Structure 1
């Protein structure tokens, strides 16, 4: 199995530093294979960690697993989600590595395995996020078909049905020749994995497996060579299950049958389990800045005062919007957008009091990115880190002590380009860029027309709000919302876009009030 598993916050991808710690802790001379589930935040964070590890001399390869069979394969730029079939890929890759194969050979086996497996989930309840009220979107007598593992809504809601009917539907979706999710045809050998979502007893998982095996044999003409049941990839306390089907051959079966010390793999444990806690070295610090250079100045310049006012207003707007963001995200995502943004906002507010060099605009923006990177996981954390670091680099190119309005506008444009490059989204994808792109366009236009910078900033913030509100009418092409039906999306705006518009608008109003500029 795996040598290390990297944990993030609940329903949030792990942060880059945590991934780097894992790579450094377990990677030997043969190298490291990262097996990553296909979610935007995971791809970005693991991708950045992989690049950093390579720069430190480690050999690293990555395999992305997307085994979701609930929706058509192409969903905007995001593709199929990574679900419980990932564990079969983990086992095959781990067994291959244990035989002494090269990194490239292990990666090739893992990639081949990822292309042979399909998964679909069924939820009988909504999971409970820590500290939040459980959503009531799933009424009595209802179930959701085709869900992910982060509490997001399924592809469809249906009446509760007998288990054999539900299993039949799931198997039909996975093995559908029209959709061609997996290269499985009658006569093939397969592996069945029945996964619990957190609150499903082992007995009920056995019942699901008991219904699935004869259907695979009699209705689909497949030979079931192995059956695994257990809670491999859960969604907190969600009641339900997922079924994974993998095309098998002797090579795959040999890897699955290989002994392992992983304590919860259902077969093959040899008894010599690893220690409960494995010490992980802290990531090395690469900061070239001294404590003195990154400290709050005793006396703020005019620019420093403006930065302080704008930052404080922006983060307070996010803090005030936390519950609304969570509510919106609960309908179209995993319900934690507000909580994630709140963590970043409070960290920025606290760090600004201690060590932001507010008289240096470029370094201050860079430090905001560092604060975000430290506490915000998932897609939003890495996106805003990229946003801030790109702006910092652009502002550093300025040799003047005071940043002009046009230079701020250029930094915003550069940051948007960086987010679009690495995240893959652009205008109309129903993301935070739908707030920031129109804001940037209006800011450039008004400054070029000779408007007062405060007025230009204020008008651009109105464009940000309008852009965020317009996401109600967009079909998502990035992030978890890409898996949600248009009817549900139309009920709320994109939470990420609304958050971006909120902090941008608050900063503009704060600067306007600072100068007492009136519309």
Structure 2
């Protein structure tokens, strides 16, 4: 188990200390794993209805992250994935509630219901009016258990917001409880896990998944889902989740909803944004009116990779509660959506159209050579990704594959002359290849194009164009041979091509010799300590693996051999 913890038994206490240290409006209840608002009036008669929630730890930012004006008055934390004790819940009620009473928002798990329910009874016996609202929003269990026995998952956060807003406006306990219960009744949530999580005390994952599998319809305690299914693309998965929620909650055209895209702890914002994009598109296609939407990690399961989607039916009154001001640290504030807008960039001046001349000497073969390079880029994608991942950021393979697609998409007018073709190729790679490779190849090709204004360059002109292209790469990146970069393949290859031609070898022979030099140069990078780029951060750990950029040079040089000469 690899986690940034000191000791499993100290995790909850140390976590709460850290959270409260970062949140000036919060305080720790002495002797308890309870986070309370620091602005609770000392005079109990001045206290509004207290909204309290909690449960096992491991769901951060829930529940402590929602303690603040306009949301929760207190959050009670149990051990990881374990309900807090009755005494801890009762201590929270005593700390923040007054004659106006307290509302306990409870997720529908047996331990939570028992401990929060018993605490409510004890509080009532002490004269503190207390109500309990249970959230059971997990629609994945629709075919497994009756609605009242479904689990409470991420939709609970929206109940916190509505109940907290009602309490902040001075509503009575009965009114706050009614608003919370009505919100819970309109919620539907369903989740998916791409992998397990590890409870610190257990030290091992809760379940195992093959690379091509995922758990559909899981809870939030590291347990398995309702069923195990093959891995799906994000769009297909969102369609599955939404279809179940929409059917179960009977949401259709004209209904107004709030959408919550929730990460389970191990899902990056990039993937959540892709999920949110599809969810919004599907709802718009179905003419469901998305009034508010949020994407992020709201109620997690430690480091579990996966997400859940929640839909809540709304009206004007509920929207005002969702929009009401709160300074709870984990609430994302404004969930309002703007109309979909796209701004078109200013188009550059277009050169005069040039009629293509496929019959021009050599240009048909030139185009075939370039398309062969595109084939080679795609065939080498996996290998280049592996090499780049070993000593870089792992994007070279997919970047060059995108470059290959851009080459195939060039219009016929691009192939009218070497100068025009190289210019078009350089600009296509500039637009399609990310990272450093795009600028390097674009600069090299554009520099070479300027040296080939003659429409029928001879072999020595091509050799000179190769040389100046390599110089352009060196100038742009500041690298030299020996720095473990693409130059370690390019520089010896360009030198050999020119020398071989001058010695009387044919262009085909000279190019073969050039390819051999590129291969030697790329292989030599396995013994070089990197001095530039991301690989330089690894130092000697990069040794033994060839530089991916140098290997890519060999990839595109080899297929050209059959077309030269």
TM-score, normalized by length of structure 1? 0.50
> With CA pairs under 8 Å and 6+ residues apart, which has the higher RCO, 1 or 2?
1
Greater C-alpha radius of gyration: 2
TM-score, normalized by length of structure 2? 0.46
